[in-house]
Structure 1
Amino acid sequence: MTCAILLMASLLPAQVTDAGKPGGSDKVFVGYLFGPVKDIDYSLYTHLCHAFLTADGDGKLKQARNVPSRDLTTQAHAAGVKVLISAGGWGWDKQFAEIVASKEAEDRYVQAVLAMVREYDYDGIDLDWEYPDTDAEVPGFERLTRRLRAGVDAIGKDKGRKMFITMALSSNPGTIRWLSTAFLVETMDWINVMTYDYTGDWTDYAGHQSPLFGSSKQPGKPRSTAQTIEYMLNDRKVPADRIALGIPLYGRGFSVAEPYASTKGAPKVRLPGGSYRGLAELPGKGWKRVWDDETKNPWLLSPDHKAVIGYDDAESVELKAKWAREKNLRGVFFWQVHGDRMPDGSNPLQKAARKGLFGG
């Protein structure tokens, strides 16, 4: 082990020995909750991230229908589950940049967020600044994070319990590179790496949106969950127990005849590409499930041979979670918890992932 890694290890937040339920494991099994506080199987999770708390550029918090929620923290705590409030979300880069550009706005924001954590009994903050990726923004992000870290730790000292700071991180190395490893290790209990949305209607081919491994059929340099995590581990030297692997509970479709076909000129039509709950019904409507053994993911092919959907099912998420365990990652997380909520009340994908992560 190099001196640099030893130094980073010395900066790690206190290890949590009871984060995961099976056998006192320190693994985390995290679900993002975006929507009503209902139909949640708390037995699945170690932590929930309650999305989203937003603000304007002056640092004033905005009212939301479901955030914050004392009902959520009360129910979760009764089940032994920690809850972090998720601040930001996709599209909130501009507001965060404005907040940290003004001392008054930053002070206002920090005080308001910490007051909400304390009042509603959250267990910390999940930062979803997507993304700090300029020379002007990074110092502000680091300062804001350190202030929130100090604030939640002070609340934890008062309440006599461990508090958490996490963040949602892009899967793109070009975006990840803006944040130093030393800073991430110093401030974050773990990092939720969003290993999904590798492809979509913004790409010129029909690739799988969350492949575990790359495909030889993919144009250009293959991107994948494994590639991103290996970059974090090997190139960036982030400790494995500070990384949670992201698993989507939804799919993305393309108006082409087969996977990896070019989408140039393909018609823009509405496809079933929503949550797993909806996708699980398609085989009964003539869609064909096909397994991609290179990427370790399934596809759905339309009965008229005019559309394909890349998604995850119980087989692929168990493999992903098992791979995360073999890499000694801190755990896995899901966007979002209701995505595989079936009519019978089960969550088959998340249950399969628990099997992969914890074994048995």
Structure 2
Amino acid sequence: MPPIDLKPRSAVIAALVLSGLVGPTPSIARPADDAVDERVFVGYLFGRPDDLDFSLYTHLCHAFVTADESGRIRPSRNVPDADLTRRAHEEGVKVLLSLGGWGWDEQFAAIAADPDAEDRYVEAVLTLVDENDYDGIDFDWEYPDTEQEVEGFERISRRFRAGIDAIGRRKGRPMLLTMAASSNPGTLRWLRTEFLLEVMDWVNVMTYDFAGDWTDYAGHHSPLFASSKVPGGRRPSTEATMRYLLDERMMPADRLAVGIPLYGRGFAVSEPYALTEDAPELPIPRGNYTNLHRLLLEEGWSRIWDEETRTPWLVAPDRSIVIGYDDAESVTLKTQWAIDRGFRGVFFWQVAADRLPDGGHPLQEAARKAFTGR
């Protein structure tokens, strides 16, 4: 696969201005000049922050804060956590407060449609960031996909931007605003390039879940490159999504982070890319890497490598189930690919999913080695 032709950020902005896709670079364009070259190695922390290896990360996204339709924050045992931010800061790691996540689209839409709810929500979130010493916000509205929702998403994001920047000025440090974005161009089209460059420090592109129980074939859910075996016309991949954002949406590479899943997705078929229409209803093993590693070592499952997609598969001993997943080899390749092509970095969902009984995180450790070059 030929390398992506990356233009310098200044050339990209100039091209956008000339094409009419954006106006002159806004005075609050992100990121600040001294942060452009900062690479990121981000972990999404979902659940209790036990036994975290802070040395792996530059940033953590602490997930999730949720709210009801009136903008009132829902209680959570795990988020926010001032002790987490304190310990992370001692290790030189920044922590962002993640909002929403999958399944909270309707609540966000309702909040944005009610000015009182929006005021209540924005104020509550900024208070959590300030009082618990987070380094910013990761806004995971999945996904604004109507004109009204996009208008609300952009308005709330700008309010978050102004609010965290005010907190940062008071605390004497820069603050961050990021978001999680779909890997599907049909969903990504709702996000305006001008807005992203104006407001977001970078975008976490969820380059996974390309296949699953919603597809009619057993595809790998996070291929680096597309497979010629995928039936039909559209052959999704990490590379295809990132190329779309660079070439068609003119997003600078240094404003995009590549998503790497620490889990797999399985199908009750005998081989990868088989059609699933007549597949039997079999229990699929848990997909987190911790369990997949056990299947490989203890349950007689076999690993096969897909050279075309640069990702592995697990096959059950009786060939009744196949699982597409990532292992140390594939995450090393993905991370090196992302760095070589100038992307801001990589991120992982979610950090506990590759934890082994000995306390190691073999996938994230392999990716970190590729990230640092040592």
TM-score normalised over the length of structure 2? 0.92
Structure-2 separation of matches of 1:345 and 1:209: 26
1:179 is matched by which residue type in structure 2? Answer: L
What corresponds to 2:93 in structure 1?
81
What corresponds to 1:12 in structure 2?
30
Superposition deviation, residue 15 in structure 1 = 3.9
Structure-2 separation of matches of 1:16 and 1:31: 23
Q: Indicate whether 1:345 and 2:359 are aligned.
A: yes
Superposition deviation, residue 118 in structure 1 = 0.3
What corresponds to 1:142 in structure 2?
154
2:269 aligned residue (236, 256, 259): 256
What corresponds to 1:236 in structure 2?
249
Q: How many residues align?
A: 354
From the superposition, tell whether residues 8 and 258 of structure 1 become closer, same or farther in structure 2 (CA, over 3 Å): farther
What corresponds to 2:144 in structure 1?
132
Alignment partner of 1:304: what SS? Answer: coil
Q: Indicate whether 1:317 and 2:331 are aligned.
A: yes
2:284 aligned residue (257, 271, 274): 271
From the superposition, tell whether residues 199 and 246 of structure 1 become closer, same or farther in structure 2 (CA, over 3 Å): same
Structure-2 separation of matches of 1:16 and 1:291: 41
Superposition deviation, residue 271 in structure 1 = 1.2
Structure-1 separation of matches of 2:247 and 2:336: 19
1:304 aligned residue (318, 321, 324): 318
Structure-2 separation of matches of 1:232 and 1:239: 8
Structure-1 separation of matches of 2:176 and 2:164: 7
Structure-2 separation of matches of 1:286 and 1:62: 44
Equivalent pair of 1:324/1:357 in contact (CA under 8 Å): no
- Stretches of structure 2 that go unaligned for 5 or more consecutive residues are 1-10, 18-23
Superposition deviation, residue 9 in structure 1 = 8.7
1:59-95 deviations in Å (ceiling 9; x for gaps): 0000011001011101101100000000001010100
2:209 aligned residue (181, 193, 197): 197
2:240 is matched by which residue type in structure 1? Answer: Q
1:307 is matched by which residue type in structure 2? Answer: I
Q: Indicate whether 1:217 and 2:233 are aligned.
A: no
What corresponds to 1:245 in structure 2?
258
Alignment partner of 1:345: what SS? Answer: coil
Alignment partner of 1:38: what SS? Answer: coil
Aligned 1:134-173 pairs, distance under 5 A:
134-173=146-185
Name the % identity. Answer: 62
Alignment partner of 1:349: what SS? Answer: helix
From the superposition, tell whether residues 16 and 47 of structure 1 become closer, same or farther in structure 2 (CA, over 3 Å): farther
Structure-2 separation of matches of 1:213 and 1:237: 21
Alignment partner of 1:125: what SS? Answer: strand
User: Pairwise CA RMSD of aligned residues?
Assistant: 1.4
Equivalent pair of 1:30/1:47 in contact (CA under 8 Å): yes
1:317-355 deviations in Å (ceiling 9; x for gaps): 000000001110000000000011111111110111112
Alignment partner of 1:281: what SS? Answer: helix
1:283 aligned residue (288, 291, 296): 296
Equivalent pair of 1:273/1:309 in contact (CA under 8 Å): no
Alignment partner of 2:140: what SS? Answer: strand
What corresponds to 1:206 in structure 2?
218
What corresponds to 1:108 in structure 2?
120
From the superposition, tell whether residues 270 and 15 of structure 1 become closer, same or farther in structure 2 (CA, over 3 Å): farther
Structure-1 separation of matches of 2:16 and 2:329: 35
Q: Indicate whether 1:117 and 2:129 are aligned.
A: yes
2:344 aligned residue (322, 330, 334): 330
Alignment partner of 2:367: what SS? Answer: helix
1:99-134 deviations in Å (ceiling 9; x for gaps): 010111100001000011000000000001000000
From the superposition, tell whether residues 258 and 327 of structure 1 become closer, same or farther in structure 2 (CA, over 3 Å): same
Equivalent pair of 1:320/1:356 in contact (CA under 8 Å): no
Superposition deviation, residue 268 in structure 1 = 2.2
Superposition deviation, residue 219 in structure 1 = 0.8
Superposition deviation, residue 8 in structure 1 = 4.7
From the superposition, tell whether residues 102 and 208 of structure 1 become closer, same or farther in structure 2 (CA, over 3 Å): same
1:345 is matched by which residue type in structure 2? Answer: G
Alignment partner of 2:296: what SS? Answer: helix
Alignment partner of 1:155: what SS? Answer: helix
Structure-2 separation of matches of 1:113 and 1:347: 31
Equivalent pair of 1:191/1:242 in contact (CA under 8 Å): yes
Structure-2 separation of matches of 1:317 and 1:257: 25
Structure-1 separation of matches of 2:218 and 2:71: 40
1:139-178 deviations in Å (ceiling 9; x for gaps): 1110000000000000000000010000000000000000
